[in-house]
Structure 1
């Protein structure tokens, strides 16, 4: 079995935090500690990220199975950010008995833009993929900058994001490419439409990766989900607008 690194804080209703592409669970640190004042919070490193063992191939099916087998079998709330939102949607589809609610933070069931669906420009995803083989560190730095661009405290947030991400070695190129492949190719819209559990979506009005217009599309897929828009947030609302995100979660998990 693939050994995944996780850390659990606090007591209360269980919430699992699943990070985004090229990251590790350390990116949650301040947010997780604040959330753990009221909940039992588990932060887990995706396979091949942070302190977790690698898996091969790095596919959505393998990732979901590894996470499900690495954590207690109790049903819980799964909060996924960016790529993590794709992962938790897949877990809800494959292991519905493990999920009692979902929080999609700056996520999109179809990450790459399609003709009738708002998403990240596929050409930009391709540029990141191309850059990995040339200069991985520079490519990751550009990706981090994109996540906070346009925000008032851009420099402070970027410094904080870089410090937390780069405290661990980056995943290897095959893992990073696998993550981009998942973002480029996965279409979890059918899974979103079939969800039976409560779903909360949190989007940033200034997110350069996830167009805020995806919120209306998600409501058409699943009329039972709630969509929350933080007008001044970008792609990392748990960092830039921590209190607002905590308030949404506490209201959702009453």
Structure 2
């Protein structure tokens, strides 16, 4: 019997983004797609990664589960695997990184070249504060960059965008703060669960170098790269992702 599978989506989206993957997956007796804090009507949480992870912990199955996180959901999955290893049997990371924003260049202290430029990240935060709807549409377009199925991916992501009404904007801004401040590089070596990394070679938000770094740092990791694919391989190539996940979960 397979372990329960929990899918954690990315910033600004809803669990509906998983629809192409869920339709392609083999039958799973316990498949869950919870909403991140402040998304899709879920209660908000303080703008810290630990707080967001702790808010999701009660939604995990009792015992252990396979935890799959995409983008911001990948950061949360990494954090849960590091701090609550008794709840996470296996880890699947899609378009994931231990740190979203780049650090100082080589030669400086603690460099991280595999992230979004810090100035570009801050510019996006500012744009979101001024016009949340336009900023989220731009973010969706960035996720489809580098993908041979760019138009279809953009359309699918747009359909799963969260509401940007005034009552939701604050919670989404908190999510941006989590995304742009988290740094799980120190915790990665402590994550001992088997891990499957799925990453698009053309990912413009979280470069494939971040996945290669994780694959080399996580003690029991395997990396599967998708050519001609951007930040959302499970949307662009759902059948291939589902097959890889099915083998990993049911093995």
User: Does residue 1:139 correspond to 2:139, yes or no?
Assistant: no
Per the alignment, do residues 131 and 194 of structure 1 end up closer, same or farther by CA in structure 2, a change over 3 Å counting? same
**Structure 2 equivalent of residue 61 of structure 1:** 50
- 1:24 aligned residue (14, 28, 31): 14
Can you give the 5+ residue segments of structure 1 that lack an aligned partner in the other structure? 1-10
Per the alignment, do residues 39 and 126 of structure 1 end up closer, same or farther by CA in structure 2, a change over 3 Å counting? farther
Per the alignment, do residues 154 and 206 of structure 1 end up closer, same or farther by CA in structure 2, a change over 3 Å counting? same
Distance in 1 (alpha carbons) for counterparts of 2:229 and 2:235: 9
Distance in 2 (alpha carbons) for counterparts of 1:241 and 1:36: 15
Per the alignment, do residues 78 and 216 of structure 1 end up closer, same or farther by CA in structure 2, a change over 3 Å counting? same
SS at match of 2:36: coil
Per the alignment, do residues 39 and 237 of structure 1 end up closer, same or farther by CA in structure 2, a change over 3 Å counting? farther
2:147/2:202 contact within 8 Å kept: yes
Distance in 1 (alpha carbons) for counterparts of 2:96 and 2:207: 10
Runs of 4+ in 1 over 4 A off after TM superposition: 168-171
Distance in 1 (alpha carbons) for counterparts of 2:51 and 2:100: 19
SS at match of 1:201: strand
Greater RCO (CA < 8 Å, at least 6 residues apart): 2
Output the TM-score relative to the length of structure 1: 0.88
* Alignment RMSD: 1.9
Query: Could you list the per-position Cα deviations for residues 74-113 of structure 1 after superposition, in whole angstroms to 9, with x for gaps in the alignment?
Result: 2001000000000011111221110001011000011111
Can you give the 5+ residue segments of structure 2 that lack an aligned partner in the other structure? 106-110
Output the TM-score relative to the length of structure 2: 0.89
**Structure 1 equivalent of residue 156 of structure 2:** 160
Distance in 2 (alpha carbons) for counterparts of 1:164 and 1:227: 27
**Structure 1 equivalent of residue 246 of structure 2:** 250
